[in-house]
Structure 1
Amino acid sequence: MTNPDKKRKTLTLGKRKADTSIHLRGESRGFDTNEKPQDQEPPLVGTIDFLLPCRDYVVDFKVADTKRLSITLEYLLRLLKLLGRLTEEELAEFFNYSRKELEFVLSEAKERDYVAWRNGEVELNNVGRALFSSGQNIPFSLELQSFSKRVGFDLLSLGFEHRGHLSYFERSLPELEVMHTSFVEGGSKDIPAVFRKNYFDIMISDSRLERERKGLYSIDKISSGDRFSALVTVNIRLDERGVGQPDYSLAGPRADQDAASRNEIFESVSSFLGRQCRTKRETDQVSLDLFKALIEGALTTPRSQAVGKLQSPKSMAQELLDAVNSAEGNSAFIGSPFLPEIGTQLIAAIRDGQSKRQCTSNVAWLLPNAPAWGMTANLPSLIEGVFEEFSFLTDDGTIEASQEEQALKSERAASSPALEWFYSGSLERHTEAAFAPYKKVGHELSISNNLVEVLVCSDAAVLIAIHLPPTRGSAMLTPVGVISSSEKVVNLARQYLIQLQAQTAGTP
């Protein structure tokens, strides 16, 4: 069953759940993972959102509504069904009707074209006999109604898709490629079969149809409409080798969708991720050394002993869990910082840091050279959640805001510390869109192959992660890291970013 307000397909589990989300203004970005026991399903380490190409079609169709006949007419038809041809006298005697009463009943039956009435004899005609289902002696009639409805279908799995509002960030995400264009090229000639296949979802999305559960009778006309996009979410899980791989099972309202109809989506996702994935290189050890230096203040043992050489994400995460000093406001994690449970840990660390000291510095972010980094609607939610903890307001571009509200936003945004970020190469469109509402400063770095991510949240807390490539094979990089409200760790990270900024400024 498809919810009319749903705007995304979710490859694997995507049912929203407010109580697992970061405490943010507006729509919750948390997901109810509904996870199976640990020994049955690998842990979730990330999510990636894509735009799913769709098209609108205007469909003119008829629906059938079954209506019971009047009692008098029903019994007349049932008698003729059982006994065949009868005379007017036999019918009048059976029903104890006067001549006038019999004429009234027979006239109604003839007007509806259910009987043949001539020469004083009455019998069912073809239309009358068609009122009885096979083996049934109770007639029914069909009342047809015409409808015209604009419906959308995605161009990959051909599933019914409701057109919903997409944010500026969501519209900046990459669109999945249509690998096979036969449906797109075929246009409206393929729509009748797709419409019939998805009619149940279409019916319950329309109160006019759903209220009386009207059945589809015919499709009369198809008109092609505009293209639009929906969202599809891909979950990344660790496989048995500790390698991040996309999980292509469907759940929630599309759990019963047959596998054959999902192949197009899977193929397009695989093609995109296949171009993004990478394996370990010798230069990645440099990133590991930097990561160990930045988290030194969060460890109970020397970093050289606490974290070994570049290894699998699962092994690295276990070493961090064993070595991190949680008593000093530190915690280790494995998985994307944009997963709600990890984002919630960061917000808790910010609150802890704010309770211990005054926090007036800006928010600074070193972005890693990790494939598909930030390709999730949870990215802008995390930024917003971090800024709200410091009571910063941003210009979110809402045209509905009053002039007073807009003026307040502008005043507060002008006095808020900037969001400062450091990156190598060019920023992806979705990353620029996520940073767009904030007073911001960007620094393009000359370094390459950087796998370290550092998010310094004013003077309150810091998130430091290394995006680990698999030891063998090709897969998505898996983040492993530390969240800390320790002043020592925050200062280490802040000083490193200041050094990067100085190096960038001094580059000819």
Structure 2
Amino acid sequence: MGTLSRPLLRLKGHELVPPDEDRRVGLEVFDVLLPCRNYEVKYKVASLGQVSPTLEFLLRLVKSTPGISDNDAASFFGYSPSEMTYVLEEAFGPGYLERKAGRLWLTISGDGLFREGEKEPTIYSVESRRRSFGFDLMAIAPQVRRWLEPLEMVLPELSSEDPAGTGRVAERLPGRFRQFFRELADKADRGKLERRDIYSIDPVVSPGERYQMPIRIMTYAQASNPSAAEIDLSLWRPDHEIADRPEIERAVALFVKDQQTSVNQMDAASAYQVLVELAPEFLKDYTVRSGLSEGRYWRESVSRAGEPRVDRKTIPIVGSLLLPENIERLHAVLDYGLRNTTEVPSNVFAVAPQTRRWGATTQQRDLLILIQEKVARAFPGADRAELKTTCLYAGRPAPYTQKAFDEVLLSHVEHFPKALEVLLIPGVVLAAVVHAPLGSSTGNPVPLGLASFDPSVVDRGYQYVMDRFERYSNKDSAS
């Protein structure tokens, strides 16, 4: 008689999210530049047609007499050695004949030219092409060029194994051109009425102008292990195309890994304490004697991150403010906040966290423009350009940060915790996010914070930023 099975009693551990509540969570969005180059390629395409008379006779002879020798075939037609060489090259080039031990045989392709019920072979007529195509310099895959906006031109570039666009690229390009021919060929080569295919590629390709194209990277993680970021390139290309570009996928993975940091390096405890001071009522259930219980707040935020309401003036924020879903939340918060003021805001302030590649995306600029437009619509007669966007930055800002904001004020001394990001529209909205590893001492930063249109929270945020504002300057010598 067997014993009854009993469920095991498990002590609750310190996992951030229990297995039954685990889910995929968005973390960051980046735009990076893929190095590319135009190459002029000489190639030939073949369209369905009739064979040349000389090749037709040779193929029909080998079809009827498999294994005939070169000399016997030349004698049969009365060809000289040079004439026979020419005819054989016409057959060997596209792979219709093969030579084994000095004898000629039809290949599978050659035999396939003889359609059932027909004595004459059907072949492809060959046309020469010389065109320029764009390839990336990492996977050597097609990449169409387009005009870049000024901000896109200064985004970070992925490292290339062959920055000069020669050597390895030139060696691999003919084979890659053949692989991607259907994608690269123009309409004339892919004609709808006739089947066309690649015939041959000149082994010499001429490199042309170098250019860059942006790739959008999304990073995600499991809620149970948020500091282990995973990449997602689906906004750039579908999965089957990314599978043809493993070199790019590896480069993106290294780019994301390069964002890793430590809790101590980011002064995370001080940044979480700022959150508590800005919104003590909202965070009271997640505050312990030592400060914010970020693990508990993360678990609750992941499970209940929602939309603001009249009776929900402050909401959790999980992931970068620049994620599409968080931009929507910020606009909803902004809608409510604008109802609370009769005075036209004149500034948008941002405090930049000291994370690598913060704001390396056109989403930063787009968010600021959307805020400006929404404020302008809320106040008839107001001009979008009147709402000035200002970033407070410790250290030397990246060019894309300078392009995204109307002005960037600098300080060589840190007056805010390194992990803290703030977005403030005085009298309207406050968003505050901490960028630090979560659940481990090192790893990718995990943005976690709040957004609010609660007047008391917004006022605290305004006072907090203004207390430090005068220490920033538009000069490099700022301290």
Normalising by the smaller structure, the TM-score range is 0.7 to 0.9
State percent identity of aligned pairs: 20
Secondary structure in 2 matching 1:360: coil
Aligned partners of 1:441 and 1:495: how far apart in 2?
20
* Pairing 1:136-285 to 2, within 5 Å after superposition: 136-137=115-116, 138=118, 139-179=121-161, 184-203=166-185, 206-212=186-192, 214-220=196-202, 221-239=204-222, 241-248=224-231, 251=234, 253-257=237-241, 262-281=245-264, 283-285=267-269
| Structure 2 counterpart of 1:315 | 299
Aligned partners of 1:308 and 1:84: how far apart in 2?
87
Aligned partners of 1:182 and 1:39: how far apart in 2?
49
TM-score with structure 2 length normalisation? 0.72
Residue 387 of structure 2 is aligned to residue 425 of structure 1: no
Residue 18 of structure 2 is aligned to residue 48 of structure 1: no
| Structure 2 counterpart of 1:478 | 446
Paired residue for 1:454, among 406, 422, 425? 422
Paired residue for 2:338, among 354, 358, 363? 354
| Structure 2 counterpart of 1:372 | 357
CA separation of 1:45/1:82 partners in 2, compared to 1, >3 Å: closer, same or farther?
closer
Amino acid at match of 1:188: A
* Pairing 1:303-342 to 2, within 5 Å after superposition: 308-311=292-295, 314-315=298-299, 317-318=301-302, 327-342=311-326
Paired residue for 1:444, among 394, 408, 411? 411
User: Structure 1 stretches of 5 or more lacking a match?
Assistant: 1-37, 86-114, 118-124, 393-410
CA separation of 1:84/1:53 partners in 2, compared to 1, >3 Å: closer, same or farther?
closer
Verify the 8 A CA contact 1:46 1:335 in the aligned structure 2: yes
Paired residue for 1:291, among 256, 275, 279? 275
| Structure 1 counterpart of 2:458 | 490
Verify the 8 A CA contact 1:333 1:481 in the aligned structure 2: yes
CA separation of 1:182/1:134 partners in 2, compared to 1, >3 Å: closer, same or farther?
farther
Verify the 8 A CA contact 1:453 1:464 in the aligned structure 2: yes
Aligned partners of 1:159 and 1:184: how far apart in 2?
15
Secondary structure in 2 matching 1:381: helix
Amino acid at match of 2:115: Q
Secondary structure in 2 matching 1:314: helix
Verify the 8 A CA contact 2:145 2:213 in the aligned structure 1: yes
How many residues align? The count is 405
Verify the 8 A CA contact 2:40 2:208 in the aligned structure 1: yes
Amino acid at match of 1:334: V
Farther-moved stretch of structure 1 (440-449 vs 167-176): 440-449
Aligned partners of 2:290 and 2:315: how far apart in 1?
14
| Structure 1 counterpart of 2:68 | none
Q: CA RMSD in A?
A: 4.1
Aligned partners of 2:276 and 2:146: how far apart in 1?
44
Verify the 8 A CA contact 2:137 2:169 in the aligned structure 1: no
1:388 shift after superposition: 0.8
Deviations 1:29-48 (A, max 9, x none): xxxxxxxxx98972222222
Secondary structure in 1 matching 2:127: strand
1:223 shift after superposition: 1.0
| Structure 2 counterpart of 1:18 | none
User: Structure 2 stretches of 5 or more lacking a match?
Assistant: 1-19, 66-75, 79-86, 98-109
1:172 shift after superposition: 0.9
Aligned partners of 2:312 and 2:64: how far apart in 1?
93
Verify the 8 A CA contact 2:231 2:252 in the aligned structure 1: no
CA separation of 1:200/1:248 partners in 2, compared to 1, >3 Å: closer, same or farther?
farther
Amino acid at match of 1:363: V
Verify the 8 A CA contact 2:402 2:408 in the aligned structure 1: no
Farther-moved stretch of structure 1 (352-361 vs 336-345): 352-361
Deviations 1:399-440 (A, max 9, x none): xxxxxxxxxxxx9576x03212211111111111212xx3x3
Aligned partners of 1:258 and 1:319: how far apart in 2?
32
Deviations 1:450-492 (A, max 9, x none): 2111111343222121113234253221111212122222211
Aligned partners of 2:419 and 2:24: how far apart in 1?
24
Verify the 8 A CA contact 1:306 1:319 in the aligned structure 2: no
Aligned partners of 1:306 and 1:391: how far apart in 2?
43
Larger helix share, 1 or 2: 1
Aligned partners of 1:192 and 1:231: how far apart in 2?
25
CA separation of 1:320/1:482 partners in 2, compared to 1, >3 Å: closer, same or farther?
farther
| Structure 1 counterpart of 2:13 | none
CA separation of 1:84/1:177 partners in 2, compared to 1, >3 Å: closer, same or farther?
closer
Verify the 8 A CA contact 1:386 1:457 in the aligned structure 2: no
Verify the 8 A CA contact 1:285 1:309 in the aligned structure 2: no
1:301 shift after superposition: 5.3
